[in-house]
Amino acid sequence: MHRYLVERTFNTQVDVSFPRPSDPPGKHEVFAANNTQEGVIWVHSYLSPDCAKSFCVYDAPNPEAIRRASMRNRLPVDRITEVSVLSARFRGPGGYDSAGMVQTG
């Protein structure tokens, strides 16, 4: 399984209420089922301040699986980039200690 960052641009602002009152019953379950069929797992997302662009993190076998799931869910895809996790908890030469301080040796 690989981790990917998916960039999306929407024609209208994304409604960030979850679930939205206008959503048909079961919409989010359908999204999850479409993702599952392709082996795609949504991790989390970020929205631009104007809510017109999203940056979504997924675990998936490959970018094509994300594209297929996105097509089923009628979601745009601008770019898919494979990424690695780097966090303040990373330890090692030049990494960070548990307090978030850079290690020097």
Structure tokens that stand for 88 in this block = 């303040």
What sign has the CA pseudo-torsion 15, 18, 22, 23?
A: positive
Q: Is residue 18 part of a domain?
A: yes
Q: Is residue 32 part of a domain?
A: yes
CATH (domain of 32): 3.30.70.3090
Q: How far apart (Å, rounded) are the C-alpha atoms in residues 63 and 69?
A: 10
Provide the residue range defining the domain that includes 76: 2-83
3-class DSSP state of 58: strand
Output the pLDDT for position 12: 80
> Could you say which residues of the chain have pLDDT below 50?
102-105
Strand order of the β-sheet with 53-60 is 41-47, 53-60, 2-9, 79-83
Q: How many domains does the chain have?
A: 1
Q: Is residue 38 part of a domain?
A: yes
